[in-house]
Structure 1
Amino acid sequence: MSKLPVVVIAGRPNVGKSTLFNRLVGRRQALVSDMPGVTRDRKEGEAKLRGRQVRIIDTAGLEEAAPDTLFGRMRASSESAVGQADLVLFCIDARAGVTPADAHFAAWLRKQNKPVLLIANKAEGAAATAEALEAYSLGLGTPLALSAEHGEGIAHLMGEIADRLPEEVRASKARVLEDEEENERPAGPLRMAIVGRPNAGKSTLLNRLLGEERMITGPEPGLTRDSISVMLEDEHGPIQLVDTAGLRRKARIDQPLERMSVSASIEALKMAEVVVLTLDATLGVHEQDLQIARLIEREGRACVLALNKWDAVEDRTATRKAISDRLEISLAQMRGIPVVTFSALTGAGLHKLLPTVRRAYEIWNSRVTTGELNRWFEEMLERHAPPLVDGKRLKLRYMTQAKSRPPTFILFGTRAEMLPDAYKRYLVNGLRETFHLPGTPIRLQLRGTKNPYVESK
Structure 2
Amino acid sequence: MSKPVVAIVGRPNVGKSTLFNVLAGEMISIVKDTPGVTRDRIYADVTWLDKEFTMIDTGGIEPESKDIILAQMREQAQIAIDTADVIIFITDVRQGLVDADSKVADMLRRSGKPVVLAVNKVDSFEKFMPDVYEFYNLGIGDPVPVSAASRLGIGDMLDAVIAHFPEHEAEEKEDERPRVAIVGKPNVGKSSIINKLTGKQRVIVSDIAGTTRDAIDTNVKYNGKDYVFIDTAGLRRKSKIKEELERYSIIRTVTAVERADVVLVVIDATEGVTEQDAKIAGIAHERGKGIIIVVNKWDAIEKNDKTMKEYENNVRRVLSFMPYAEIMYVSAETGQRLNKLYDMIDMVIENQTLRVATGVLNEIMTEAVAMQQPPSDKGKRLKLYYITQVAVKPPSFVIFVNNKELMHFSYTRYLENKIREAFGFRGTALKFFIRERKEKDQ
TM-score grouping bracket, smaller chain normalisation: 0.5 to 0.7
1:317, distance to aligned residue in structure 2 (A) = 4.1
Give 3-state SS (helix, strand or coil) of 2:339's partner.
Answer: helix
1:149, distance to aligned residue in structure 2 (A) = 6.2
Corresponding position of 2:158 = none
Q: How does 1:394-409 map to 2 (within 5 A)?
A: 394-409=382-397
Structure 2 vs 1, CA of residues 294 and 416 (structure 1 numbering), >3 Å: closer, same or farther?
same
Q: Distance in 1 between matches of 2:379 and 2:234?
A: 51
Amino acid at match of 1:326: N
1:353, distance to aligned residue in structure 2 (A) = 1.0
Contact kept, 8 Å, 1:227 with 1:265, in 2: the verdict is no
1:150, distance to aligned residue in structure 2 (A) = 4.6
1:336, distance to aligned residue in structure 2 (A) = 3.9
Q: Does 2:418 match 1:418?
A: no
Q: Deviations over 1:398-419 (max 9, x none)?
A: 1111111111111112003531
Give 3-state SS (helix, strand or coil) of 1:334's partner.
Answer: coil
1:285, distance to aligned residue in structure 2 (A) = 1.4
Q: How does 1:36-75 map to 2 (within 5 A)?
A: none
2:222 to 212, 225, 234: 234
Corresponding position of 2:10 = none
- Count of residues paired in the alignment: 284
Question: What is the TM-score of this pair, normalised by structure 1?
Answer: 0.56
1:342, distance to aligned residue in structure 2 (A) = 1.6
Contact kept, 8 Å, 2:250 with 2:280, in 1: the verdict is no
Q: Does 2:211 match 1:223?
A: yes
1:225, distance to aligned residue in structure 2 (A) = 5.0
Corresponding position of 2:189 = 201
Q: Distance in 1 between matches of 2:288 and 2:195?
A: 27
Q: Distance in 2 between matches of 1:274 and 1:351?
A: 16
Corresponding position of 1:161 = none
Amino acid at match of 2:261: E
Q: Distance in 2 between matches of 1:227 and 1:218?
A: 16
Q: Distance in 1 between matches of 2:433 and 2:252?
A: 30
Amino acid at match of 2:211: L
Contact kept, 8 Å, 1:277 with 1:293, in 2: the verdict is yes
Tell which deviates more after alignment, 187-196 or 227-236.
227-236
1:307 to 290, 295, 302: 295
Corresponding position of 1:287 = 275
Q: How does 1:94-243 map to 2 (within 5 A)?
A: 150-151=109-110, 187-224=175-212, 226-243=214-231
Q: Does 2:428 match 1:449?
A: no
Contact kept, 8 Å, 2:182 with 2:231, in 1: the verdict is yes
Which ranges in structure 2 are unaligned for 5 or more consecutive residues?
Answer: 1-57, 59-69, 77-81, 84-101, 113-172
Q: Deviations over 1:235-292 (max 9, x none)?
A: 2522111111389xxxx96565764443122211111100001111122211221222
Q: Distance in 1 between matches of 2:393 and 2:107?
A: 39
Q: Does 2:352 match 1:364?
A: yes
Question: What is the TM-score of this pair, normalised by structure 2?
Answer: 0.58
The two structures, once aligned, show a CA RMSD in angstroms of 3.4
Amino acid at match of 1:231: N
Q: Which structure has the greater CA radius of gyration?
A: 1
Q: Deviations over 1:101-127 (max 9, x none)?
A: xxxxxxxxxxxxxxxxxxxxxxx9xxx
Contact kept, 8 Å, 1:417 with 1:448, in 2: the verdict is no
Contact kept, 8 Å, 2:204 with 2:213, in 1: the verdict is no
Structure 2 vs 1, CA of residues 329 and 259 (structure 1 numbering), >3 Å: closer, same or farther?
closer
Structure 2 vs 1, CA of residues 37 and 425 (structure 1 numbering), >3 Å: closer, same or farther?
closer
Amino acid at match of 1:410: V
Corresponding position of 1:160 = none
Contact kept, 8 Å, 2:292 with 2:328, in 1: the verdict is yes
Amino acid at match of 1:445: F
Q: Deviations over 1:78-117 (max 9, x none)?
A: xxxxxxxxxxxxxxxxxxxxxxxxxxxxxxxxxxxxxxxx
Contact kept, 8 Å, 1:335 with 1:438, in 2: the verdict is no
1:449, distance to aligned residue in structure 2 (A) = 0.8
Which ranges in structure 1 are unaligned for 5 or more consecutive residues?
Answer: 1-30, 39-43, 46-123, 125-146, 154-184
Corresponding position of 2:284 = 296
Q: Distance in 1 between matches of 2:394 and 2:382?
A: 27
